[in-house]
Amino acid sequence: MNVLVIGAGGREHALCRALARSRELGQLFILPGNAGTARLGTNVPGDPCNIALAVEVARRESIGLTVIGPEEPLALGMADALEKAGLRVFGPHASAARLEADKVFAKQLMRQYAVPTAEARTFKDFRLAHQYIETRDEPVVVKAAGLAKGKGVIVCNDPSDAILAAEDMLVKRKLGSAGATIVVEERLLGREASLLAVVDGHTSYLLEPAQDHKRLRDGDEGPNTGGMGAFCPSPLIDAETLGQIETQILVPTLDALVHENIPYRGVLYLGLIMTTAGPRVLEFNCRFGDPETQAILMRLRSDFLDLLNAAVDGGLEDAEVAWDPRPALCVVMASGGYPDKYETGLPIAGVPEDSDDVVVDHAGTRYEGDQVVTAGGRVLGVTALGETLADARRRAYDVVSQIHFEGAQYRTDLGAAT
Ligand code: AMP
Ligand code: GLY
């Protein structure tokens, strides 16, 4: 079966790597891919949000399955268009991708179906938001309702920060239309974990739980980023907690989607926080997490394409999935200046060949002639398996220390305080 992967990040390289191990895989195409995916398949240049192009490539290359990585094309309806053209696709319709693309919608659904989450109010009018925030005693989080490339969530310590954040979004329109509506929610306390469910419309298969590190700097300091590293499994989710998450969060959410006539096919990513009152949903994503996927798929031992096909065909209850018992940890190497402005086109040196236990996923990279150069904020992810998490960490950092590009920044404490 020929497969087309949409996207250009570390997640997509990891998806391609897992697909490349499948016995069913024919040819692999990536739109647009990066220097890493170019070694596993054929990169097709173009905009990953160009729906007409995706349909054209899928037809031209006799694609049996398109796997959509990022949220933007999903929110724009790429899965709908591919299906309409009679093509098979892994990834939810636009109506279901709203769970990520429209936080107001997600909050309403959770409230209506009693899915535990932070208490929240929605505002379009800055005056009303201001009044509300002033009356709150507890710290709040201000969130843009729309997709804001990881910049739409401001965790505030006091009301004046929250009012400024609301003003930036609603009045100054710093996030454009994504921040024209905001959600102001109570700030929850607890450790965070990411749980990804592969969903076939009714049934789901839970991938091994993971944790990511969203803050830029060691000790969880600095701004939020797309993710500076991840590890799997997460010790926060033991069997009992997993049962709780399934019965209190996952099942009610999937039932809600069925009830609302929003068939969900793809990955439903639960961003969770473990409060003293139990797990709560921080966010839904409608796709694989980045960099969680790099750590999760490093541990997958069974056929990945079989699993995706089972989800598309509605046969997940029979899916046979096997995991490596060893933990995996991914360290992201980012450009100097990320998540704000950064330079690109810098040569990357010292990337070793992949081994069974350590791989380097490319994220923001491209070829300039024969040279691999930086091409994005997050540049590479080094993922290692180890007998213990500490061992995986040691192996990953060993390889990180061999890789060089000017201005490279990475955290040195990943997986340390689990
Ligand atoms: P989100 O994109 O909604 O997951 O938010 C990004 C990050 O902001 C999360 O990973 C949390 O660290 C933090 N965050 C979001 N919502 C809350 C909340 N209600 N309470 C505390 N922290 C939050
Ligand atoms: N690592 C967080 C995300 O993929 O949204």
Q: Ligand 1: which of 283, 284, 290 to mutate, judged by most atoms within 8 Å of the beta carbon?
A: 283
Q: Which CATH number fits domain 2-94: 3.40.50.20, 3.90.700.10, 3.10.350.10, 1.10.10.10?
A: 3.40.50.20
Give the start-to-end residue ranges of the domains of the chain: 2-94, 120-186, 191-318, 328-400
Q: CA separation (Å) from 125 to 40, 145, 147, 254, 370?
A: 49, 13, 19, 32, 53
Q: Which CATH number fits domain 328-400: 3.30.1330.90, 3.90.600.10, 3.30.1370.10, 1.10.1370.30?
A: 3.90.600.10
pLDDT in the model for residue 298: 98
Which of 147, 203, 199 has its CA nearest to residue 177?
A: 147
CATH T-level assignment (fold) for domain 191-318:
D-amino Acid Aminotransferase; Chain A, domain 1 (3.30.470)
Ligand 2: lining residues by beta carbon, under 6 Å? 212, 227, 285, 289-290, 292
Q: CA separation (Å) from 31 to 52, 57, 108, 378?
A: 12, 9, 34, 18
Closest ligand by atom to 285 CA: 2
Closest atom of ligand 1 relative to the 271 alpha carbon? 4
Q: Ligand 1: which of 149, 273, 286, 287 to mutate, judged by most atoms within 8 Å of the beta carbon?
A: 273
Residue with CA closest to ligand 2 atom 5: 289
Q: Ligand 1: which of 71, 117, 141, 286 to mutate, judged by most atoms within 8 Å of the beta carbon?
A: 141
Q: CB of 155 closer than 6 A to ligand 1?
A: yes
Closest ligand by atom to 210 CA: 2
pLDDT in the model for residue 194: 98
pLDDT in the model for residue 151: 85
Checking 353-356 for CB contacts under 8 A at 24+ apart, the result is: 356/385
**Domains 120-186 and 328-400 are alike in CATH topology:** no
Closest ligand by atom to 151 CA: 1
Which positions of the chain have pLDDT values less than 70?
417-418
Q: Confirm if 294 and 214 have CB atoms less than 8 A apart.
A: no
Q: CB of 295 closer than 6 A to ligand 1?
A: no
Ligand 2 centroid to residue 289 C-alpha, Å: 4
Ligand 2 centroid to residue 53 C-alpha, Å: 26
pLDDT in the model for residue 137: 82
Parallel, antiparallel or unpaired: strands 2-7 and 28-32: parallel
Q: CB of 154 closer than 6 A to ligand 1?
A: no
pLDDT in the model for residue 323: 98
Q: CB of 399 closer than 6 A to ligand 1?
A: no
Ligand 1 centroid to residue 139 C-alpha, Å: 13
The CATH number given to 120-186 is 3.30.1490.20
pLDDT in the model for residue 394: 97
Structure tokens belonging to residue 177? 């239309």
Phi, psi of 298 (to 5 degrees): -60, -25
Closest atom of ligand 2 relative to the 292 alpha carbon? 1
pLDDT in the model for residue 263: 87
Structure tokens belonging to residue 59? 């037809």
Q: CB of 214 closer than 6 A to ligand 1?
A: yes
- CB-based contacts of 313, cutoff 8 Å, min separation 6: 200
Ligand 2 centroid to residue 288 C-alpha, Å: 8
